[in-house]
Amino acid sequence: MSTPIYEQALGEDFRRLQPELQDYFSLAPGSGQYGVGEGTFDVVGCRQAWLRPLLRLTGSEEAFFPEYGEGVPFRIENHAHLDPFGRSSLTARREIRFPGRTRMFQDTTSITGRHGRSQLVDYVGRYRRLVTDLNLSVTADGKLRGVSEASRLLLGPLRIPLPGALDAKAYAEQWWDPAGGPAGKHRIQVKVIQPQIGLVLVYAGSFDYRLRPYAGGNRAQAFLPGYAQPDRWENRV
């Protein structure tokens, strides 16, 4: 079984994470298991009403969505695998269950050897058109922080870097809250901010997490269930 991609990216800092976070980010290709989280977002979606019609146009991308809600249940699945190009990857599928409609948000994070070091690159949406670098750090109290930077659009043969004035950055923090219930809870908060617009998307909440075996005990490193496959894979960064 290979080294988990978050451990590769963080190096020695991985051991500074809270033990529960180390467990969460230790899923690796060939483990024969996938992760399932279920919980509630305290807040999720686009708070700016004037921006929602624009986000409605991108709803089919399964990356952004126009709804906003509070106390919204959600489910996440994490699948560790090798992508078709042999890169160790983690594909996440999130079901956000707004009243009357469930929205999907999916991405694949892959490890690359850019700039002479291990780098996480995130491919967002069902077509994986939006690509961004992930820069990780560990706080003094063991939380994981991540910032998405240097986004690119992959449109057919074109690779279009987004200039700073247009690029939206995601700021994420994840941690274990021992006071989040009788057995504790995982917590996450993410803000997507665009310099000219401000806050585009936010989600924050808590969830329980467990590992489940793949049907038939499948341990192939490249295995990813058909329903979790994106509509397109990209080998460009």
Identify the CATH number of the domain in which residue 186 sits. Answer: 2.40.128.20
Compute the distance between CA of residue 31 and CA of residue 2 in angstroms, rounded to an integer.
Answer: 9
Residue 154 identity (one-letter amino acid): L
The total domain count for the chain is: 1
Q: Which pair of structure tokens corresponds to residue 190?
A: 């993410």
62 assigned to some structural domain: yes
**What range does the domain containing 31 cover?**
5-220
Partners of 108 in the beta sheet? 91, 123
In a domain, 83, yes or no: yes
pLDDT for residue 116: 66
* Distance separating alpha carbons of residues 192 and 208, to the nearest angstrom: 24
Q: Could you tell me the pLDDT band of residue 186, with boundaries at 50, 70 and 90?
A: very high
Neighbours of 111 (CB within 10 A): 21
Least confident residue range of 53-62, 64-73, 219-228: 53-62
What is d(CA 219, CA 32) in angstroms, rounded to the nearest whole number?
4
In a domain, 150, yes or no: yes
pLDDT above 70: residue 175: yes
The token pair at 112 is: 């690359």
pLDDT at 234: 92
Residue ranges of the alpha helices (H) in the chain? 5-10, 19-24, 52-56
Q: How far apart are CA 102 and CA 122, in angstroms?
A: 23
- Let me know if residue 164 belongs to a domain: yes
Inside any domain, residue 237: no
pLDDT value, residue 195: 87
Residue 53 lies in a domain: yes
Inform me whether the pLDDT recorded for 1 exceeds 60.
no
What CA–CA distance (Å, rounded) separates 21 from 91?
17
**What is the C-alpha to C-alpha distance for residues 105 and 37, in angstroms, rounded to an integer?**
14
Q: Determine the pLDDT at residue 59.
A: 78
Residues 58 and 195: beta-carbon distance below 8 Å:
no
Does any domain span residue 229? no
pLDDT at residue number 233 = 96
Identify the band that residue 115 occupies on the pLDDT scale cut at 50, 70 and 90: low
